[in-house]
């Protein structure tokens, strides 16, 4: 688990699997909240035989740096994307397929906007743009309560610095957001408690929401760009059936935001697609990586 050089003072801890192959892009896997880079273990193991795979902990998560700084400048999508790009630059990587879910999905999309020179393609589970005021409906608001809660000092007082509280808190989301056939096991919850429980760890992780990365604020502020300004990097959404945060009908406006977008439905699973359905997520990533290898025809 090496650590990259600092970007804005933040070092990212990462795992590297497989080995670089001439003409093939490196796959970068990005985790969500409340998780860490181990969310992608099963996907990385499946890809490693044929691909170079990089799996970092994002800023404020896992074993990466957690600094008490203004979230707006330190933990937002652009800051997270800078760290991922900085790590890729440090490792001499020039062609990436970036994949992820939840926070990792937003960071992948931001990286595509900010570093189109580096990013060949994106493969993500939701969130996605185009939700708009639908986020204020009764059903979504029942689900997104935690994003307002994370803005409060009370969240830090109740959860931060307590392994017991952190375990109970993350268990709720891993149980409630997952599909009907998935139950997080004790080993998984114990691991997450160990990384979210230390003093400062939980509050660092919610820096993403305090930076304005939450779904409600983002959806209400979002406007479709001019067609020429749509995200040009080819993007694939692996959209689960049972995600209570992002119903499939919210994929209806993707063409307004992406110039080249594909939706792959994955039945039977919930929010944590790479964990619940690693075979399906791996297949989507491998297919896109093959398309963007030299043999498959790069852009």
Bridge partner residues of 7 (DSSP):
10
* Residue 231 phi, psi (nearest 5): -60, 120
For residue 204, which of 173, 167, 237, 161 has the smallest C-alpha distance?
161
- Cβ–Cβ contacts within 10 Å for residue 241, how many? 14
Which tokens go with 152? Answer: 């409060």
Whole-number Å distance between alpha carbons of 159 and 196: 9
**DSSP 8-class letter at 185:** -
Residues with Cβ < 8 Å from 238, sequence gap 6 or more? Answer: 123, 124, 125, 264, 266, 273, 280, 281, 284
Please give the Cα distance from 234 to 7 (Å, whole number).
27
Distance CA 261, CA 257 (A): 9
Determine which helix (DSSP H) or strand (DSSP E) holds 239, and give its type and residue range: strand 235-240
Active site residues: 102, 209, 271
Q: Given the structure tokens 């960071």, which residue do they identify?
A: 107
209 DSSP assignment: I
Rounded Cα–Cα distance for residues 120 and 293 (Å): 9
């Amino acid at each position: 688990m090496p650590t990259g050089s600092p970007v804005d003072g933040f070092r990212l801890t990462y795992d590297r699997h497989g080995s670089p192959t001439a003409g093939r892009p490196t796959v970068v896997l990005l985790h969500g909240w409340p998780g860490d880079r181990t969310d992608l273990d099963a996907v990385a193991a499946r890809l490693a035989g044929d691909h170079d795979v990089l799996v970092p902990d994002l800023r404020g998560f896992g074993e990466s740096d957690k600094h008490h700084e203004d979230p707006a400048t330190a933990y937002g999508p652009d800051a997270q994307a800078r760290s991922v790009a900085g790590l890729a630059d440090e490792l001499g990587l020039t062609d990436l397929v970036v994949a992820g879910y939840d926070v990792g999905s937003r960071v992948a999309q931001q990286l595509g906007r900010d570093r189109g020179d580096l990013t060949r393609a994106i493969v993500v589970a939701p969130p996605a743009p185009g939700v708009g005021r639908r986020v204020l409906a009764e059903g979504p608001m029942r689900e997104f309560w935690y994003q307002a809660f994370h803005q409060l000092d009370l969240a830090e007082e109740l959860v931060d610095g307590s392994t017991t509280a952190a375990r109970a808190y993350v268990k709720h989301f891993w149980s409630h957001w997952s599909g009907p056939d998935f139950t997080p096991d004790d080993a998984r919850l114990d691991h997450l408690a160990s990384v979210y429980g230390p003093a400062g760890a939980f509050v660092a992780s919610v820096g993403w929401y305090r930076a304005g990365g939450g779904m409600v604020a983002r959806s209400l502020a979002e406007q479709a760009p001019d067609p020429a300004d749509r995200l040009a990097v080819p993007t694939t959404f692996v959209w689960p059936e049972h995600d209570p945060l992002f119903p499939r009908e919210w994929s209806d406006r993707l063409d307004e935001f992406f110039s080249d977008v594909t939706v792959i439905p994955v039945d039977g699973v919930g929010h944590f697609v790479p964990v619940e359905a690693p075979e399906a997520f791996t297949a989507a990533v491998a297919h896109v990586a093959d398309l963007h290898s030299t043999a498959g025809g790069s852009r």
